[in-house]
């Protein structure tokens, strides 16, 4: 990790260049903003494992105090969406770019269903050689986490589900998210993407949006910016949002590990869905935070504290 970002905060062009040179350039700035010390042994590196489709699953391996927590990001995001939450928690972490996202390979068949992705995450966790792990999943990553816990119980010690349930249903917020992820497929510059993100309600913190967008885009041969995730370049007949995921309710109900639902009060899980979770998973717990769907971006410190309480440690922030 370097402090390149903190040395060039007054120049947008230099900030962009610093992140493109070093994906970890902003972490010291993040840590300072969150009040977290990076001198306590928290370090991060990128690694990868082979994927079943012939590509790779790329991931961030954070070293730090036990236990190692696995974080699975939402659709259209990548491993760096968890940076602030991981820093706030201060524990070791395994944070993959899910297949079709970030530096991980796309799947030719556009199959990113929980049942397809969970075995790849299981292979990654076995490759790390320790466990079982507390697993935290956001949105698409949370559904994969439920599948992972059901199919590979020996690898999951506790579960945190962030702003989704198997009763996912269209809401104004979810439709705006879908518009951002599956709408315009290329852009002239970063400012055009940031403006769209603000318009569609993806966030109001321009610095945070800028950072996330730089790390989630690449330049095409014609110079246009495109998202790294496959959802923005999906086949015409593909619809990643059409899957009926209610089949995951029995899997969630049958888990014999601690389960926590974190609901963003401005997110996509309404009070009725939270009530259904309480009814179906009576041993589970629910925490509500003042946040939109991307709770880890809007309230990373509060989310880290909720995770820490759930797994029995003290958060760093």
SS3 at position 125:
helix
Q: For residue range 264-284, what is the model confidence (pLDDT) as tens digits?
A: 999 999 999 999 999 999 999
Long-range contacts of 41-44 (CB under 8 A, 24+ apart): 41/65, 42/87, 42/90, 42/316, 43/1, 44/1
C-alpha to C-alpha distance for 123 and 303, rounded to whole angstroms: 27
Give the three-class secondary structure for 258.
coil
What are the boundaries of each domain within the chain? 21-166+247-311
Given a cut of 70, whether residue 151 has pLDDT beyond it is yes
Which pair of tokens denotes residue 274?
């939270």
Asked: is 21-166+247-311 a CATH 3.90.79.10 domain? The reply is no
Q: Whole-angstrom Cα distance, residue 85 to residue 138?
A: 12
Q: State the catalytic residue, choosing from 84, 139, 158, 174.
A: 139
Work out the widest C-alpha separation in the chain, in whole angstroms: 54
Candidate from 65-69, 95-99, 121-125, 139-143 with smallest mean pLDDT: 65-69
Confidence of residue 125 (pLDDT cuts 50, 70, 90): very high
Spot the catalytic one: 138, 229, 293, 310: 293
Half-sphere exposure of 277 (CA within 13 A, CB side): 24
Active site residue 104: no
Whether 163 is a known active-site residue: answer yes
Catalytic pick among 163, 174, 298, 310: 163
The question of whether 53 is a catalytic residue gets the answer: no
Q: What is the pTM of this model?
A: 0.93
Nearest to 262 by CA among 220, 295, 237: 295
CB 163 within 8 A of CB 264: yes
């Amino acid at each position: 990790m370097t402090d390149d970002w903190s040395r060039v905060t007054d120049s947008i062009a230099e900030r962009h260049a610093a992140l493109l040179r070093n994906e970890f350039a902003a972490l010291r700035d993040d840590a300072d903003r969150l009040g977290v010390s990076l001198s306590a042994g928290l370090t991060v590196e990128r690694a990868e494992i082979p994927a079943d489709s012939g590509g790779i699953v790329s991931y961030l391996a954070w070293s730090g105090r036990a236990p190692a927590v696995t974080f699975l990001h939402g659709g259209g995001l990548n491993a760096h969406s968890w940076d602030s939450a991981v820093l706030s928690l201060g524990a070791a972490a395994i944070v993959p770019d899910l297949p079709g996202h970030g530096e991980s390979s796309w799947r030719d068949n556009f199959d990113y269903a929980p049942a397809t992705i969970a075995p790849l995450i299981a292979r990654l966790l076995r490759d790390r050689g320790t466990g079982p792990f507390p697993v935290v999943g956001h949105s698409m990553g949370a559904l994969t986490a439920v599948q992972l816990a059901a199919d590979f119980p020996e690898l999951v010690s506790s579960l945190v589900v962030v702003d989704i349930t198997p009763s996912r249903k269209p809401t104004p917020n979810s439709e705006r998210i879908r518009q951002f992820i599956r709408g315009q497929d290329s852009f002239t510059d970063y400012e055009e993407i940031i403006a769209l993100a603000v318009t569609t309600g993806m966030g109001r913190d321009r610095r945070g949006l800028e950072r996330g967008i730089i790390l989630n885009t690449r330049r095409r041969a014609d110079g246009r910016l495109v998202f790294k995730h496959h959802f923005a370049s999906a086949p015409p007949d593909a619809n990643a949002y059409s899957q009926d995921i209610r089949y995951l309710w029995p899997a969630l109900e049958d888990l014999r590990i601690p389960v926590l639902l974190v609901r963003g009060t401005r997110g996509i899980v309404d009070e009725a869905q939270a009530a259904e979770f309480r009814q179906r998973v009576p041993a589970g717990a629910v925490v509500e935070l003042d946040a939109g769907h991307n709770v880890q971006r809007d309230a990373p410190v509060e989310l880290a504290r909720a995770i820490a309480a759930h797994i029995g440690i003290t958060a760093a922030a």
